[in-house]
Structure 1
Amino acid sequence: MALLEVNNLEVRFGLRSGEVTALRDINFSLERGERLGVVGESGAGKSVLGFSILNLLSKPGYIAGGEILFEGQNLAAMSPKQLRSIRGNRISMIFQDPMMTLNPVLTIGQQMVECLLAHRKISRADARRIAVQKLKQVQIPSPETRIDQYPHELSGGMRQRIVIAIGLLMDPDIIIADEPTTALDVTIQAEIMDLMLDLCERNSVALMLITHDLGIVSQMTRQAMVMYAGRIIEQGPTKEIINDAQHPYTQGLMNALPQMALPGQRLNQIRGSMPPLQHIPTGCAFNPRCDYVMDACRHELPGFTRSGGCRVACHMVAQMKLEEEAAARALEVN
């Protein structure tokens, strides 16, 4: 049994104009110690997926169907009281902006100690000792001093390390990291990513990394899911997706990486933009932006086709597989 298993997850938002579907047909599993990358542009549904796992969706959002099984227990069906024993304890989440995560009127120590006391029956002195230990783990200099400082007294990189330390406080089984380095410069980004990778490997923690950067995914994860308009469109081993992307959208993301353009050359980009939830096109949601669009793409939602070790939701890939199989049969007959 997988540590985390998501089956046919569907998330909707109720608006005045009617309900819209933010996630549909989401299926994946996460093993202990595994690292999964979730990739896509803004609006693809990556963060909604992260929030859904811990049922942190704000109204009017809600889980409309499917299961989120953690060690066989369905998180989607749990009461808020039952979820409190899992949130921040067995499953931690690292959010995009540390200044939005940390309470500006409490010291770092107060926030870490209160978190520990909420989940463990230990003394305040023991809680402080564990907090200092976790700050050391994330390479915070002079942790005994930093623990009594307020968030505004620390740099962006330091605050992000503290958010990671808070995520590790309860020795969780899973960390969901939602764009954990968005607000940081490139040098600090690399340090934070190396730190997270090292901590996950040493503690056998499963990592679900939500990002728009395929470069980070290639370095950090073993499995990857590419999302578009609330649906998974390509899923499989990270190396296979990076080296031989099948879906035209994944190919577009790969070609948009800065290293894919020559010095002085204009960067590649996917034409158009992600459709709003109220106006997702019929058929394949990517069809208005796709260079390989066929008639079926405009009318039929593509199912998944197995290509190597990956699952791909694309009519073109399905047709190519059929043609390859027909050619192979013809060779056998001859």
Structure 2
Amino acid sequence: MPLLEVSNLEVCFGLRSGAVKALRDVSFTLERGERLGVVGESGAGKSVLGFSILNLLSRPGHISAGSVRFEGKDLATLAPEELRSIRGNRISMIFQDPMMTLNPVLTIGVQMVECLKAHRKISTKDATYIALQKLKQVQMPSPETRLEQYPHELSGGMRQRIVIAIGLLLDPDIIIADEPTTALDVTIQAEIMDLMLNLCEQNNVALILITHDLGVVSQVSQRMLVMYAGRIIEQGPTKEIINDAQHPYTQGLMNALPQMAIPGQKLNQIKGTMPPLQRIPKGCSFNPRCEYVLEVCKHNLPAFTQSGNCQVACHLVAELNQEKLLVKEV
């Protein structure tokens, strides 16, 4: 049994103009200790997926179909008390902005101790000792001093290390990291990602890394999901997708990387923009932006087709695979 199994997940947001689907038929699994990357443009549904796993959606957002099973338990149907024993304890989330995560009027030590005491029967002395050890684990300089400081007294990189340390406090089985390095400079980004990678490997913690940075995903994750307009359009081993992307959207993301451009010329980009949830195109949602669009793409939603070790939701890939089979039979 997988550690986490998401099956046919659908998330809706009720608006005055009617309900819109932010996630559509999302399915994947996560094994213990596995590192999974989730990539796509802004508005693809990456963060909604992260919040949905922990059932942290605020109204009018809600899970309208499908299931999120952790060790066989459907998190979407658990009672609040039972969900609380898993959220933050067995599954931790590292949010995009540490200043939004940390309480500005409490010291780092108080916040870490409160987190431990909320989930465990433990003395303040023992909780402080564990907090100190976790700060050392994330290579925080002068950890004893940091426990007495407030978030605003620390640099962005330090705050992010503290958020990671809080995520590790209760020895979780899964960490969901939502754009954990967005607000940091490139050098600190590399340090934080190396730190997270080492911590996950040492503690056999599964990681779901949500990001728009394909470079980070290629270095950290073993498997990846590519999302577009609330749906997974390609998934498989990271190296295979990076080296031979099948879906035109994934190819566009790869070509848009700065290192793919010719020096002195404009960067490559995918034409058009992500469609709003109220106006998702019929058929393949990427069809208005796709340079390989077929007539069937405008009317029929593509099913997943196997391509190597990857699954791709694309009519063109399905047709090419069918042609290859016919050639082999001849």
1:279-290 equivalences in 2 (<5 Å) = 279-290=279-290
Give the counterpart letter for 1:207 in structure 2. Answer: L
Q: RMSD between aligned alpha carbons?
A: 0.5
Please give the residue correspondences for 1:229-308 in structure 2 after superposition, counting only pairs within 5 Å. 229-308=229-308
Secondary structure in structure 1 of the residue aligned to 2:208: strand
Alpha-carbon shift at residue 79 of structure 1 (Å): 1.8
Q: Residue 37 of structure 1 corresponds to which residue in structure 2?
A: 37
Q: Distance in 2 between matches of 1:13 and 1:202?
A: 39
Q: Structure 2: how far apart are the matches of 1:266 and 1:126?
A: 56
Match of 1:119 in 2: 119
Query: Matched residues in 2 for 1:97 and 1:249: separation?
Result: 28
How far the C-alpha of 1:176 sits from its partner, in A, is: 0.2
With normalisation by structure 1, the TM-score equals 0.98
**Equivalent residue number for residue 136 of structure 1:** 136
1:110, 1:87 → 2: CA distance? Answer: 20
Offset, 1:264: 1.4
Write out per-residue CA displacement over residues 149-170 of structure 1, whole angstroms, 9 at most, x where no aligned residue: 0000000000000000000000
Tell me by how many angstroms 1:137 deviates.
0.5
Three-state SS of the structure 2 residue aligned to 1:38 is: strand
Match of 2:107 in 1: 107
C-alpha deviation, 1:256, in angstroms: 0.4
- Match in the other structure for 2:25: 25
Give distance in 1, aligned partners of 2:227 and 2:303. 14
Alpha-carbon distance in 1 for matches of 2:297, 2:229? 15
Matched residues in 1 for 2:41 and 2:121: separation? 42
Alpha-carbon distance, 1:80 to partner: 1.6
**Cα distance in 2 for residues equivalent to 1:323 and 1:70:** 40
After superposition, give the CA deviation of every residue in 1:260-294 in whole Å (9 maximum; x if it has no partner): 01221210000000000000000000000000001
Unaligned runs of 5+ in 1: none
Task: For structure 2, list consecutive stretches of 5 or more residues without a partner in the other structure.
Answer: none
Q: How many Å separate the matches in 2 of 1:273 and 1:8?
A: 26
Q: Which one-letter code corresponds to 1:169 in the other structure? A: L
Equivalence map 1:148-227=2 (5 Å):
148-227=148-227
Amino acid at match of 2:61: G
SS of 1:32's equivalent in the other structure is coil
Task: State the distance in 2 between where 1:213 and 1:196 align.
Answer: 16
Separation in structure 2 between the aligned mates of residue 153 and residue 80 of structure 1, nearest angstrom: 35
Report the secondary structure of 1:239's partner residue: helix
Residue 59 (1) aligns with residue 59 (2): yes
The equivalent residue for 1:310 is 310
What percentage of residue pairs aligned between the two structures are identical?
78
Partners of 1:124 and 1:318 in 2: CA distance: 59
Q: What secondary structure does 1:232 align onto? A: strand
Letter in 1 for 2:5: E
Aligned partner of residue 85 in structure 1, secondary structure = helix
> 2-side partners of 1:177 and 1:283: how far apart?
31
Q: Please tell me the residue identity of whatever aligns with 1:218.
A: S
Q: Which residue of 2 aligns with 1:88?
A: 88
Secondary structure in 1 matching 2:148: coil
Q: Which position in structure 2 is the counterpart of 1:69?
A: 69
Query: For residues 308 and 234 of structure 2, what CA distance do their matches in structure 1 show?
Result: 12
TM superposition score normalised by structure 2: 1.00
What SS does the aligned partner of 2:62 have? strand
* Aligned-partner residue type, residue 261 of structure 2: A
One-letter code aligned to 2:112? M
Aligned to 1:15: 15
2 CA distance for matches of 1:66 and 1:29?
14
Tell me how far 1:317 sits from its aligned partner: 0.3
Secondary structure of the structure 2 residue equivalent to 1:115: helix
Which residue pairs with 2:2 in the alignment?
2
Deviation at 1:82, TM superposition (A): 1.2
Residues 194-215 of structure 1: per-residue CA shift (max 9 Å, x gap): 0000000000000000000111
What does the per-residue CA deviation read over 1:170-210, in whole Å, with 9 as the maximum and x for residues that have no partner? 00000000000000000000000000000000000000000
The separation in 2 between residues aligned to 1:255 and 1:303, in whole angstroms, is: 25
C-alpha deviations, 1:29-68, integer Å up to 9, x for none?
Answer: 0000000000000000000000000000010000001111
Runs of 4+ aligned residues of structure 1 deviating over 2 Å after TM superposition are none
